[in-house]
Structure 1
């Protein structure tokens, strides 16, 4: 069974208008031409697609099924034409990206900057969110691409590996742990923490690790940003757990000390998440491929 795209588009117009005369006006065709196309389509599928009424038309069950498939096919054709046009005019588009702080503070900004240098016609809206909020934004379509870190559940979203980072303990200079090269997390729990936002994936990981150790997690203060957490550690309000890449600039300036964590879960995997890879725009797919290539050497 071979379908004519023009006829399918006319059928969708008739279904949306509910009237042959209005459909003919929208398509700039004669009513007789519309009727002929619909008759040919019904003959092709072998069953009535429209119910004729005195003041218009409605869809039969077969017509309802065809309408759904026809819309999907026409959307794919329109997207194909748009993407092929981008190759002629230069890639363009707008991608909404939501990411956790761990990605934003470490590698993601430089990789997006290099992507925009290559594709200057593209716009990217980049927002920082907790892991849970990133997943919700991708699921409801607010964001096309998300970046999350373990152990954030993705609840049926499609995900691909991105970068990994390693968690470590940051302590003030002169702290009893400052001279240690590495410790177990249970040893860190003997001290008060400067903790992250309660909904963050890092907060969930810390709570689960403390429960596994059978020891309480004392959080003297919680901060909404990694920068604030490091600043609070400097002022000796507690120790903290953050990616080594976040702690390193402060340690290089002698403002805090980094103590390694001898835990398998300290090595975290980040993921790029999308709702449905088949529905991604061409430029969003290109961005994901760029991020994966950038992360590959790491």
Structure 2
């Protein structure tokens, strides 16, 4: 090592974990009780960290302790290191058990019903030891789940704000008007949204991106959306339409399995907003696990556009 180059600091993980507890509790006694240690042992560890850092980390007072600027900095990086070590332990334990990866996905109904099943089938054929947890959520709930780290990957429509998450284009879909085969609109090939707003609709729940889109477009025409029934399942929406309970706006390919069995017709909407983009959302690609990166790359393959 060249002269004048400072030696790298080697921090003890146990000491850093104790420091995190002290910083969270703002009290040595409570932190010691939490870790089932003597106060003197915790104090000794903190003193060793301060000696190694070359600066005080805590300000001790009658009520407990406060962090110095150096302590704030150490807390930030200690938490990052702890999170990384937890991820490392989890991933290595999965390799040891033969699972070799685990991905939690939250997505909107459009993506989960239309595109993801086949994409996952192709992926698991190549990587059979990957585990998945998948939950269906509204767009806003998907963003919250990824932000709060309840999911590593989300799938939303472009109408939903990603709120700082990284995004990649996943697929494109088309929204169509769904009507019973005997309906007066069934013979139409194309319709404008404004011309059908006097009909009652079967629609998704209030916090879904599709509901927000339809409501905004109806408001632009000065005609509030007549929503008779709200229901989350595409299958249930198609059944409601088939029984004459209202019209629906749904993705074209999602309706395909029900056209013949439920005697439905799909009418093209002559609207720019009917052409939608579905997005993958995640915290940061560069910080993602190798397993998640591989899956994101698979979902973005050119053949899937």
- Could you tell me the TM-score, scaled by structure 2's length? 0.76
> In structure 2, do the counterparts of structure 1 residues 244 and 3 end up closer, same or farther at CA, with 3 Å as the change threshold?
same
Report the CA distance between 1:191 and its aligned residue: 1.7
Aligned position for 2:169: 161
| Equivalent residues, number | 283
CA distance in 2, matches of 1:241, 1:58: 57
Q: Does 1:3 align with 2:8?
A: yes
Aligned position for 1:22: none
Residue 195 (structure 1) aligned to one of 203, 207, 225 = 203
For structure 1, the 5+ residue unaligned runs are 20-25, 27-33
**Alignment map for 1:21-170 (pairs within 5 Å):** 41-42=52-53, 47=55, 61-73=69-81, 76=84, 92-170=100-178
Report the CA distance between 1:122 and its aligned residue: 1.8
Aligned position for 1:31: none
> In structure 2, do the counterparts of structure 1 residues 82 and 174 end up closer, same or farther at CA, with 3 Å as the change threshold?
closer
Aligned position for 2:42: none
SS at match of 1:146: strand
| Range with greater deviation from structure 2 (152-161 or 124-133) | 152-161
Aligned position for 1:176: 184
Aligned position for 1:211: 219
1:188-227 CA distances to partner (integer Å, 9 max, x unpaired)?
2132212222221111111111001112321232222110
CA distance in 2, matches of 1:218, 1:172: 17
Aligned position for 2:270: 262
SS at match of 1:170: strand
